[in-house]
Structure 1
Amino acid sequence: MSRIFSRRSLIRVAGAAAAALTLAATLPVHAQSPETVRIGYQRSSTLIALLKADGLLEKALAPLGVKVTWHEFTSGLPLLEALNLGKIDVTADVADTVPVFAQAAGAKLVFFAEEAPSPSAQAILVPEGSPIASLAELKGKKIAVTKGAGSHYLLLAALAKGGLTFKDIEPAYLTPADGRAAFVGGNVDAWVAWDPFLATTQAQSKARILADGTNGLASYKRYYLTSEEFAAKGAPVIALLFEQLKAKGDWVKANPKAAAAELATLWGIDPAAVEVADGRRSYKVGAVTKNGLAEQQKIADAFLAEKLLPRAVDTSAVVIWQPASQ
């Protein structure tokens, strides 16, 4: 992965502030505003999926003369690789682990929004009739997990709680779709998944949750990111997107059945399962703070200890965008 990311030095110059944008670290000013914002997302990117479907973001950006293009990715790591390579301008939510891997590969990131913790929205699943009853019993088992996803850190934390290390299991690095197929097909002993994949698999296979992120195991926050270049020239766009995400998150929680029905149509899955999944996600969008990123260092250190990161990472070495109201 380190070959994919470029190693650019972080540019800091004065005068980057704009009326709609306040940064924790200054960025270069670009005189020409963007004509297009390229948004990368995943299938499970709930709020972005809803904004894409209702067209409200395009309408809000029209007075600025900015168009939107949408780019789907299978998981968070390819999404951030595309951001770092300049192929997209903004990402939908990615799990807290993903920026850690990106930083380890030399990426320079700008955080512009976060979702409050949702610890029960990811879990370790075992088949309904599995004899596995404790985390310690995962020893020697084949476990499907998506590399670099939030579920990857949950697995590390759960193994540590059970007195195990990553070397005590046989990991199967699979995409969510392939992980589900392997799990339902009986080709793995357990699967670490996140919603809505988690909820749909529970509903269809009666799989049992062995552990989720509650009780301090893994808070599971999700972050929205942009590039240095776009944060500098697209200040009004970022500010508008932040407000749209915040409003959409509030709407989902206030209208659970309507939101579930709309997402079920978009995703082609059962509305009841979507409602369960939405109930486990906070969808509370807010500004990112240095203190709020505290668990990022814990995540990075856990991956480094298991030799899953190529080098140590200072997770505080990122740029934070904040709305002018902050």
Structure 2
Amino acid sequence: MIVSIRRIAKVAMLTGALLTAGCSQTSGDASAKRTEFNIGWSIYAGWMPWPYAQQSGIVKKWADKYGIKINIVQVNDYVESVNQYTAGKLDGVTVANMDALTIPAAGGKDTSAIIVGDYSNGNDGILMKGAGDLKAIKGKQVNLVELSVSHYLLARGLSSVGLSMSDVKTMNTGDADIVGAFASPDVTAAVAWNPQLSTMKAQAGAKEVFSSADIPGEILDLLVVDTTTLKANPNLGKALAGIWYDTVALMKRQDAEGKAARAGMAKLAGATPEAFDSQLTTTYLYADPKAAVAATSAPALVTTMTRVRDFSFSKGLFKGAGSADAVGMSFPGGKTLGDAQHVTLRFDESYMKLAADGKL
């Protein structure tokens, strides 16, 4: 079973990252031209191409092309991987869009999202017992990992049926405990992500009433890199784009080589090939760089990140900020959100475009 932990579970971890980010960056080192880099990852279906690329030699192929060395480093805990990146111990990391905003960017670390790798297309869902209509959730307790993407999904789901967060009571429940909690007769509503979601859906009387497939493109999984490091070492971005698209093209193949690649990724994730393939059915991978460039350049991304930042601010995830505009974000075409003089999250499509144009 794949342990999907690309979510933030504890306020203390979030605020701790925000408070320490500004003083823990190694900006002097980041601005230097270098030949060796460390990219962190944690286990999630959409991120398994990275360790497989290292194992299979794809990382070395592209790193050698640009005369650099790239270490793909596993961090067992997702939160810790993002914190290590924020502290300057990693040059890049796999991260969800909401967490890229609320941890490194909100903490003042200038961060560039250079690979939009996938979006959750059903990996996250709202479940109820004894009701098949989300409107029936009004007045109920909802178990979930508070201040996570599950919390965001709940807010989006409620909004879709004319309800708000004040219409429900949330109960913070860790991802390790959510399956057991939902099995209790007292718990009638919950929000979860895979693989826990699949297990919970199989419980008697459980019905999925809303999922990330209802808000396609909003829960994004990214590869982000320190902006200063990237500016000093653009070949790092080129190599990472080459690695990603080479590997995803291989895993999407339906021949023996594609099957073997997916089986290899499943093993690295501690999953069976069947379980891994099941995870992929609810993960929309941007295998085509042209599609990734289009998604990153579309007005819909600005709309999504506006919703994400407004939700994050409303939950106190911009520590000490007076408004949601405190954190600046930039997008292709010169569009910005928030403080244009303090942009710390940049959606940079240039390396994906090089791949799309065959110029890597």
What pairs with 1:83-162 in structure 2 (closer than 5 Å)?
83-92=85-94, 94-102=95-103, 103-126=105-128, 130-138=129-137, 139-145=139-145, 147-149=147-149, 151-162=150-161
Q: Per-residue CA shift, 1:179-204, capped at 9, x if unaligned?
A: 34544566854443334443465468
Structure 1 unmatched runs, 5+: 12-27
Please give the alpha-carbon distance, in whole angstroms, between the structure 2 residues aligned to 1:171 and 1:58.
46
Task: Give yes or no for contact 1:90–1:227 (8 Å, CA) kept in 2.
Answer: yes
Structure 2 unmatched runs, 5+: 1-14, 331-342
Please give the alpha-carbon distance, in whole angstroms, between the structure 2 residues aligned to 1:217 and 1:168.
24
Looking at secondary structure, tell me which structure has more helix per residue.
2
Q: Per-residue CA shift, 1:97-149, capped at 9, x if unaligned?
A: 112313333332111110354432321234xxx22432233333131226333
Please give the alpha-carbon distance, in whole angstroms, between the structure 2 residues aligned to 1:309 and 1:186.
36
Per the alignment, do residues 307 and 136 of structure 1 end up closer, same or farther by CA in structure 2, a change over 3 Å counting? farther
Please give the alpha-carbon distance, in whole angstroms, between the structure 1 residues aligned to 2:259 and 2:185.
33
Question: Secondary structure of 2:310's partner?
Answer: helix
Percent identity for Structure 1 against Structure 2: 19
1:302 maps to: 311
Cα distance, 1:168 vs. partner? 3.7
Per the alignment, do residues 161 and 90 of structure 1 end up closer, same or farther by CA in structure 2, a change over 3 Å counting? same
2:9 maps to: none
Cα distance, 1:319 vs. partner? 3.1
Cα distance, 1:296 vs. partner? 0.7
1:315 to 317, 329, 335: 329
The RMSD of aligned alpha carbons is 3.4
Q: Does 1:51 align with 2:59?
A: no
Greater displacement, 226-235 / 49-58 = 49-58
Q: Per-residue CA shift, 1:260-316, capped at 9, x if unaligned?
A: 433332233343332222122121153444746311112212333455544314433
Cα distance, 1:96 vs. partner? 2.2
Cα distance, 1:7 vs. partner? 6.7
- Counterpart amino acid of 1:301? D
2:284 maps to: 282
Q: Per-residue CA shift, 1:45-73, capped at 9, x if unaligned?
A: 23224324434313532462415151314
2:77 to 52, 74, 79: 74
Task: Give yes or no for contact 2:120–2:220 (8 Å, CA) kept in 1.
Answer: yes
Q: Does 1:226 align with 2:225?
A: yes
Please give the alpha-carbon distance, in whole angstroms, between the structure 2 residues aligned to 1:48 and 1:204.
33
Please give the alpha-carbon distance, in whole angstroms, between the structure 2 residues aligned to 1:61 and 1:172.
46
- TM-score normalised per structure 2: 0.70
Q: Does 1:5 align with 2:32?
A: no
Please give the alpha-carbon distance, in whole angstroms, between the structure 2 residues aligned to 1:204 and 1:247.
39
Per the alignment, do residues 309 and 253 of structure 1 end up closer, same or farther by CA in structure 2, a change over 3 Å counting? same
Task: Give yes or no for contact 1:41–1:48 (8 Å, CA) kept in 2.
Answer: yes
Q: Does 1:41 align with 2:41?
A: yes
